[in-house]
Structure 1
């Protein structure tokens, strides 16, 4: 029922409140969560990590008043290019609350413009995304606005991010303004692809290359942030995050943020490994030991165990390659073991492997793994591709070194076939040496048959003193294909009775060493060791014969009498006397060869039928 005077319901009407009663309160929206990369973004040069060289250069420039009109900041993602640009803008416009101060990099307190600049909302500090504002018209707007004085700050600062995305016309429109800007304007450019920036722009800027942050520095930074966030983190987990970030501070903080959420406030190694699909470092070391020992079953079991635990096969191969690189560094630079990002297992067992493996062993393993990683990533069956890569490593690990092969040959024992089906015991800390030189190709003795068979008559031993004797022997045995291959494809490096080392000519058969070793064993009655070499070697026999023929013709052509004949009979040619003599003997109707003197090495052949009158 309504009041007659006011037309409003009475105060005691159910469901209505009096006018003096306050309206029902609504909960105020709380501040949104800020990710760690934004929450702990550096606000001064003291907060920057890993860029000491750049900070020192800027400190000296600000202290002496040598401040340029433009800077070019380059580096990989997440190293602090845009953050450095904002700190530069803050330092240029630093002013205390009482109105004092000038351009400086020492900013202990927040000045009049600092908060707005750091948060990216100051009217005189313009941040421009060149990826979406990359046209000539956008640069013209900058050129028109740069002439006007700043509103409240000391300098107008233009921060152009991803400047390499500007078009060619936009770069050209920037040249004049960038070379002679007004005194109150400064430019800061940032890019990840410095090679796409024209040289004309680079020459007008001071360039600073921001370095990747080292893993040890990143681990300390992450540990400090975990302390401020009251988060418990294992050192091994932070080391794994630092390795995965590859020197990017923003990437490391993003991964740490994700790991905190994944582990419900606790960052453990298992959490990070499950989150990133990484391999267990201890199991990677065990896998490395298995393949270096040539133990394929153990290697397969280790790979399958990590795959079942959630590790990506490509990540396992990458971790294996990384550990191979670590062992190489520990062997050549023992101080590399002081890296804070290494676990105790990697440090101790890596040093043990470094003492037991040679550089050529590690280099060959690295080459195999370097090719295996993209193969596993592109394979439709990554596990199978990873297993085949481990097989290659194991087979290479079972091959003997050259000195071991020579010792086996001298002792009369057979060379290993390269099959790691029966694992051999580790030599030192489970490490075997890979062959550093090309594989020795020798004929393998056949296993003894179960039943006795009549043996062929023994071939008498034959001694060969020169490589030409080997070629002649191939001709005597009527092996024309082998003789032609020896003359055409062999670049001799070293020759001894029983040992041949040569390089293949271009297009030569890669199996020539094995075929030659088998033939020589059959022809001479004893084992020969034939090896391919990486050295250049001597010219082939055919090349030597061709060079000798050219020299003979050159000597003949220099004879005065021959020169006179060549001048008088155009079209005459110098031919080998022996070749023409053989042709004349074969064909009685052939014209008689003209011989120039008893000792002349060559003769002249002309197209004319007239007799030569000297």
Structure 2
């Protein structure tokens, strides 16, 4: 007798044997027990999750006659009557399976309709099962609509599809729809364990985990892969053999890569990537395993203790969870997912893998991971890894500059910045009720670059209370005041936005006021509003019939469309009550509402920049830190 593959040999024969689809089994069982039968069913879901199997079980339930031949419709087919046995063997005359992928035209649909007009030959019901129904042509669907909606009482339709979005809405509305879900890896692993026990095939737990993950929710794929793994392993399933067959990357490689990324260890990262190349391991598989590990790390960081303690991979995920901050974990996870899609675009997949990993190193370190272990109190700080602590110490030694001893002399009404920025070794006067330590004015360890946009203003506001709270040092014997060295950027006020030149005219004043009123009243919108804003009123003169001729000058050709001029003209007539005729000419306007707004905005920008540049605290900060600067364009007027 020829060998029967596991996917066919262990196909479910009744609802009790169905795995992972309890919601569908429960609904169909109750409907069969109560006699509430629909005339058309639609089963949707990905490949290999049981759509055809459910259809065959349903057909057996409708036509089962029981062991003694006197049974009726049941939710538990006997499996021994002629109907049950012939449906399992795919030779029951009243059960028809049509593959719509190869029989998708209107001729096949008409043949099905003709066969539907005849009563069942041996069974209680005729059951027509159309697989991959979404591939039927529109004409075939339309031909089936009437029969699908009002079939004979002895006819049941079962449609199955992997893509319900391509089904016609008129078909969906005529069917009772069930969505079969992909199965969890644990469910697949348990079923494989039962099958292999019946087959007397020894298996390692790690091999089961690999097969259940590779199936991606499809039980048929899981059984097919198991068949292949048994052949590959010579009758047994070992983790190393299954990993080699699937091309799965060992989790230890993913662990070492994440450890190198967390420690910002570029040489170790490149060495591990080169090791993957030398072993011929898949770059895409590496990123996939990293994504799985990062997902478990994120779960541990968000909900400590939520990972499955029986999973042998849980310990590694918990250990690595403290090496990265939660936001870094999310960032790396996104990079890994995006990187898988980019591998095909790279000249070499290993070069693509290295670039994906180096992309994370381009971001500055954020500090230790914020995840808490289950036994650590909620308010306790998260422990950083040894590599992370060493990195922070090295940054602190390399970045912190020596304090600046001299600043500009302070006025009596305001404490000097020097009083707040004294070195830590300097004695604090006994009369001072409060003093600011020198460390507060030194750059933090992560500031190994110049401040970015908005950072200088934030530091100014954060330090201002400390500066005012400091008590001035009592003045000793008068000495010449020290002169602070102020960087050139602190004294030069270079406007970031040039002020546009506006040649103001009386007609321009009139036009600007009129356009402002139209905009405030919502009388013009979209391109008509843009035409009014960009135009210059150059001429207003009487015209025939008591009308007025208004000439506008506009530079952009798209705004000189006649339809826009007509819309603006109608709005002007309604607002002013005058008979106005708009004429639009090409040219560069010298006085338009848009140019006036730009002029006002540029002036506000210059004033805001001058205020920031002249602020004493900003001046003191620029003197205190040699790397401090005001980023051009970062200042925004209130």
TM class by shorter chain equals: 0.5 to 0.7
CA contact (8 A) 2:56 2:88 kept: yes
Deviation (angstroms), 1:132:
1.1
- Specify the alignment match of 1:134 in structure 2: 104
CA distance in 2, matches of 1:232, 1:94: 38
Distance 1:157 1:393, change over 3 A: same
> 1:189 is paired with a residue of what secondary structure?
strand
1:92 and 1:155 in contact (8 A); partners too: yes
Measured in 2, the distance between the counterparts of 1:491 and 1:175 equals 63
Q: Which of 172, 195, 215 is matched with 2:185 structurally?
A: 215
Asked whether the equivalents of residues 234 and 267 of structure 1 are also in contact (C-alpha less than 8 Å), the reply is: yes
* Residue of structure 1 aligned with 2:292, choices 314, 319, 322: 322
CA contact 2:52–2:160 (8 Å) conserved in 1: yes
State yes or no: 1:274 paired with 2:233.
no
Given the alignment, which residue of 385, 388, 401 partners 1:428? Answer: 385
Tell me by how many angstroms 1:214 deviates: 0.3
Any idea what SS the aligned residue of 1:212 has?
A: coil
| Correspondence 1:105-254 to 2 at 5 A | 105-254=75-224
Cα offsets for 1:451-507 (capped at 9, x unmatched):
xxxxxxx997999xxxxxxxxxxxxxxxxxxxxxxxxxx99899457589xxxxxxx
Shift of 1:306: 3.2
Give the whole-Å Cα distance in 2 for the aligned partners of 1:191 and 1:556: 59
**Match for residue 524 of structure 1 among 485, 490, 501:** 490
1:447 shift after superposition: 11
Return the alpha-carbon distance in structure 1 between the equivalents of residues 159 and 39 of structure 2. 11
Task: Kindly indicate whether the alpha-carbon contact (under 8 Å) linking 1:292 and 1:393 is maintained by their aligned counterparts in 2.
Answer: no
Choose the corresponding residue for 2:351, options 384, 389, 404.
384
Match of 1:554 among 495, 508, 513: 513
Distance 1:541 1:575, change over 3 A: closer
The answer to whether structure 1 residue 262 and structure 2 residue 209 are counterparts is: no
Contact 1:292/1:432, CA 8 A, preserved across alignment: no
Confirm or deny: 8 A CA contact 1:71 1:187 kept in the other structure. yes
- 8 Å contact from structure 1 (residues 289, 431) kept in 2: no
Query: 1:298–1:141: structure 2 CA closer, same or farther, 3 Å change rule?
Result: same
1:133-154 Cα shifts (integer Å, max 9, x gaps): 1111111111111111111111
Select which of 375, 395, 399 maps to 2:365: 399
Please state how far the C-alpha of 1:156 moved relative to its aligned partner: 0.5
Unpaired segments ≥5 residues, structure 2? 370-382, 393-397, 412-451, 463-485, 503-507, 518-538, 543-547, 553-589, 597-638
Instruction: Indicate if the aligned counterparts of 1:460 and 1:525 stay in contact, CA closer than 8 A.
Output: no
Are the equivalent residues in 2 in contact too, given 1:85–1:159 (CA < 8 A)?
Answer: yes
Does 1:364 pair with 2:331?
A: yes
Q: Secondary structure at the match of 1:127?
A: strand
1:234 positional shift: 1.0
Q: 1:491 to 1:277 in 2, by over 3 A?
A: closer
Cα pair 2:78 2:84 within 8 Å, conserved: no
CA-to-aligned-CA distance 1:310-336 (integer Å, 9 cap, x gap) = 311121112112211221123234465
Aligned pair partner of 1:292 in 262, 272, 279: 262
- Cα distance in 1 for residues equivalent to 2:346 and 2:170: 45
Q: Hey, what's the Cα distance between the residues in 2 that align with 1:286 and 1:550?
A: 70
Distance of aligned partners of 1:351 and 1:35 in 2 relative to their CA distance in 1, 3 Å threshold: same
Q: Given the two structures, how large is their TM-score scaled by the length of structure 2?
A: 0.62
Instruction: Give 1:119 deviation, angstroms.
Output: 1.8
Change (3 A) 1:429 1:38: farther
Asked whether the 8 Å contact 1:368–1:393 carries over to 2, the reply is: yes
Provide the C-alpha distance between the structure 2 equivalents of 1:181 and 1:557, rounded to a whole number of angstroms. Answer: 68
Contact 1:162/1:192 (<8 A) preserved: yes
Partner Cα distance (1:496, 1:552) in 2: 42
The question of whether the paired residues in 2 share the 8 Å contact of 1:461 and 1:525 is answered with no
Secondary structure class of the residue paired with 1:187: strand
User: What residue ranges of structure 1 are gaps of 5+ in the alignment?
Assistant: 1-30, 404-425, 436-443, 449-457, 464-489, 501-519, 527-539, 559-564, 581-614
Q: Which moved more, 1:228-237 or 1:491-500?
A: 491-500
Query: How many residue pairs are counted as aligned between the two chains?
Result: 438
